[in-house]
């Protein structure tokens, strides 16, 4: 990341001579080194999947979640610095509560994504703060617009997607998602595909154990964990698919 001169990475408010803000690029590196998180949008709802790497065998299973509920109809997951992700989830909850208190209706997913993105972007403007070392995926079901899915990047940019991925296995996961016919897929099929992609993306990091987190927001408009029976069945199919590919 060398540029003309030195010291241009000491502050998020300083541009390099070639127009780059190095601290934002460093934040993106933190995202790229994290466990993969993906989400897909079907005609019925949104499915989230996360490769939650286990840092120690002494950790209690399920104690370090990376998928958060920010409103009844909206979920959020992140990749990057875990503490930053939890802070951003808290901010998203505050924004959702503020919207409801003001307008007496549920927050549209796009409006919440925009508010979170503006908050993230504010941390790229001042020398006294640092950018968030995290990218976030927000998804949910609006009463008017139906299923919605957005990614908020460390720069404060947010974009809408049919399917998206962040983290270490981002490129592979995106390629796999592009092969799916999401508009014709049921929620149960989407869960199976998300699990398969996460397991295949983990192959590059197979020396580390991980927990698979799965959640969804279906036609009922409520964000919740995928039922254990469906989650276990999806994991079995994902493992079987990996074994069959290895045999071939």
pLDDT in tens, 31-61: 999 999 999 999 999 999 999 998 888 988 8
Backbone angles phi, psi at 49, to 5 degrees: -140, 140
Distance CA 60, CA 73 (A): 28
Percentage of the chain modeled with pLDDT above 90: 79
Choosing among 3.40.50.170, 3.60.20.10, 3.40.50.620, 3.30.980.10, the CATH entry for 22-56+64-243 is: 3.60.20.10
Domain definitions of the chain by residue range: 22-56+64-243
CA-to-CA distance for 24 and 46, rounded, in angstroms? 29
The stretch 215-243 carries a mean pLDDT of 95
Q: pLDDT class for 3, splitting at 50, 70, 90?
A: very low
Lowest mean pLDDT among 48-57, 144-153, 181-190: 48-57
For residues 30 and 15, give the distance between their C-alpha atoms in angstroms, rounded to a whole number: 20
């Amino acid at each position: 990341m060398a540029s003309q001169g030195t010291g241009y990475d000491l502050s998020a408010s300083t541009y390099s001579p070639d127009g780059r803000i190095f601290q934002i690029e460093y934040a993106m590196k933190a995202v790229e080194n994290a466990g993969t998180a993906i989400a897909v949008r079907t005609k019925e709802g949104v499915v989230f999947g996360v490769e939650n790497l286990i840092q120690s065998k002494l950790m209690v299973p399920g104690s370090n979640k990376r998928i958060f509920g920010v409103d009844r109809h909206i979920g959020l997951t992140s990749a990057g610095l875990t503490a930053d992700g939890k802070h951003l989830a808290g901010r998203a909850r505050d924004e959702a509560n503020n919207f409801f208190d003001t307008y007496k209706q549920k927050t549209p997913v796009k409006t919440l994504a925009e508010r979170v993105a503006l908050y993230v972007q504010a941390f790229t403007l001042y020398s006294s703060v640092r950018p968030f070392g995290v990218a976030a995926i927000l998804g949910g079901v609006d009463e008017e617009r139906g299923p919605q899915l957005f990614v908020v990047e460390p720069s404060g940019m947010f974009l809408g997607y049919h399917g998206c991925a962040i983290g270490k296995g981002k490129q592979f996961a995106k390629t796999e998602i592009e092969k799916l016919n999401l508009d014709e897929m049921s929620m149960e099929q989407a869960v199976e595909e998300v699990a398969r992609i996460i397991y295949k993306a983990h192959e590059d990091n197979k020396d580390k154990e991980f927990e698979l987190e799965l959640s969804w927001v279906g036609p009922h408009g409520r964000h919740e964990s995928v039922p254990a029976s469906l989650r276990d069945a999806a994991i079995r199919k994902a493992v079987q698919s990996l074994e069959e590919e290895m045999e071939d």
